[in-house]
Structure 1
Amino acid sequence: RLLELIFHRRMLEYPCLTADPAVANAVFLPYYGGIDAMRYLYGPDYNSSHQHGRDLFNFLQSDNLEIWKRFSGHDHFLVISRPAWDLCQPLPTSPEDQRLWGTSFLMLPEFFNATVLTLESRAWPWQEQAIPHPTSFHPPSLALLESWVLRVRRSRRSTFMLFAGGGGTSSSGAPNIRRSIREECDSYRNSSNIEGLLNGRFETVCEIVDCSNGIC
């Protein structure tokens, strides 16, 4: 969840900042959406997750409304330190609608014009832009970065790892990417064409490592 704080701090050091939003080419919204989402995902507002972001929009409508209306929000952007999939729960059409995991921030029509930087974006919404997780790798020069990229490209990698995480065991039939990844892995392992999948280059096609006991 530190991405929002890190990005905000870096923006405060940006040399081209202006105190007058009327002359700004882009307007950064220092809204910690990933942190705010916690109360809708786990807290007392669990059953009101479609309200995530409405307080922000109400603020934008009450504070310098002309700045938002100038381009209908097209020049506004924000950072949310959660995957986009956690923020695209369909808006309820009735109180009886089944609640899925996540909030509805990215489904609010009020923010369709704003650009949202997320840890993982969906493929089709133009306003979502994926940015990487914060890491400890910060090369001080372009030359060092390019040398690292070249080393990675030349490396012989026979094993690839994907972290799917736990959960996704519900039998409700609701969409769940973690369960889908594990089911696809099982499908490959049980395939009748296992030799063709291995192609003589790999020992196994897919293997699940269970780290639930703390030992991997």
Structure 2
Amino acid sequence: MTQPPPLFAPDTARGRLLAVAARLFREKGYAGTTVRDIAGALGILSGSLFHHFRSKEDILFAVMESVIAAMRRDLETALADAPSPHSRVRALIAVELAYLHGPASDATSVLFHDWRALSAERQAPLLQGRNAYFALWQDTLAQARAAGLTPVEPEILRQFLHGALAWTSYWYRPDGGLTLDDLTDRALALALGMNQPAG
């Protein structure tokens, strides 16, 4: 799995704003980041942000909406290119790790950790995209179970894998001697067992 491209277009004002906001939300938390912080990091006046978004919550919503849509699109592509249940499970893991540790890592971290900062009304439209992404996981893991690759129920295995992969954001370092492909293979071994056939 190659790294996804930058999530937010760096050549547009909106893209730069969302990229900076995602970084600050990750570093300081959504509650700890002010509109003034975002504007200051961009070198503009706070009022200029409101040409693009009505509120800080709108910015958070846009960050999350973008990363959910991109992860779903890239996972659909990766699954379509995978020829077997084994390789499709690897695709699930590879895409998630690419977002956790690649160019979209700030936005992905915000999605995982600041979800509750959105009001229920703002969460609702995002849940459709998130549920569609989870459905791809569910279907793929069900195929793996049907193929005899795992005895674990798809819903339980999905929850275990999501938790374990998300936790890598706290300990994995790309300069630590383990590549992202290596990490993907380790996670796949945990998910399906060391002796499962490749292909």
TM-score (normalizing by structure 1): 0.26
Larger radius of gyration, structure 1 or 2?
1
Structure number having the greater helix percentage: 2
- Highest RCO, 1 vs 2 (Cα 8 Å, sep ≥ 6): 2
TM-score (normalizing by structure 2): 0.28
